[in-house]
Amino acid sequence: MARHKEFDRDEALQRAMEVFWSRGYEAASVGDLVKHMGINRQSLYDTFGDKWRLYLEAVRRYAAQETEAHLTALKTGPQSIDGIDALLARVVATASEACLGVGSICEFGTSQPELTTIHEAAGRRLHAAVIERVREAQSEGSIAGDIDPEQAAQFLTSNIAAIRLAARAGVGGDSLLALARLALRGLR
């Protein structure tokens, strides 16, 4: 009787994320995935269900990791505006890495309810945290008091996506940093 090869599920999922980052869902073949993950087809199906379930799990993990990293950046600095600046700086610093969140939205939009649910959950967490930091920055005098915190949060999260898309299109670091600086300046 053949024995199933043991593997680290988390590591295999991380490797699947890398394939989906670079190729998207449609262009990532099961062969590409199992090769990069270091597992066989049957292990993929036994462990993750199928390519779509694997993709959903990869996007879910990516969204959780990115949201946590964004929230950590938001909490830095002596003033709230410093946290917002740190968030934008983090996005610029990592913009050359493919973003599975933006990539999946570009590939599927809102056509896949399960995927939309993942994006909306992560988006709500980040949006709420940005609103809170904007309100704090307004009370500290760093952001104009007449700016609606809800709209400011939408503006900032939209700029995060724009910076990532610009990087994917080949825009360089200095230009990405200028986009982040303009976004921050738009709140003052």
- The mean pLDDT value of the chain amounts to 94
pLDDT per residue as tens digits for the range 55-108: 999 999 999 999 999 999 999 999 999 999 999 999 999 998 888 999 999 999
Non-local (6+) Cβ contacts of 186 within 8 A are 155
d(CA 67, CA 185): 23
Q: Torsion over CA of 14, 17, 21 and 24, rounded to 10 degrees?
A: 160
Residue 5's pLDDT band, with cuts at 50, 70 and 90, is low
User: CA dist 130 to 2, 6, 62, 133, 136, Å?
Assistant: 52, 42, 19, 5, 10
| Separation of alpha carbons 123 and 88, rounded Å | 16
The pTM is what? 0.89
Please tell me the chain's helix, strand, coil percentages from 3-state DSSP, rounded to the nearest 5: 75, 0, 25
88 vs 148: CA distance, rounded Å: 19
- Taking only the tens place, the pLDDT of each residue in 125-154 is 999 999 999 999 999 999 999 999 999 999
Which residue type, as a one-letter code, is found at position 155?
F
CB neighbour list of residue 104: distance below 8 Å, 6 or more residues apart: 20, 24, 25, 55, 59, 115, 119
All structural domains of the chain, each given as residue ranges with its CATH number in brackets, are 58-185 (1.10.357.10)
Give the model's confidence band at 1: pLDDT under 50 very low, under 70 low, under 90 confident, else very high: very low
Interacting residues of 18 by C-beta distance below 8 A, sequence separation 6+: 36
pLDDT grade, residue 4 (50/70/90)?
Answer: low
The pLDDT of residue 96 is 86
Q: Which amino acid is at 153?
A: A
CB 177 within 8 A of CB 163: no
What are the structure tokens assigned to 152, written together?
Answer: 């400011």
Residue 12, pLDDT > 60, answer: yes
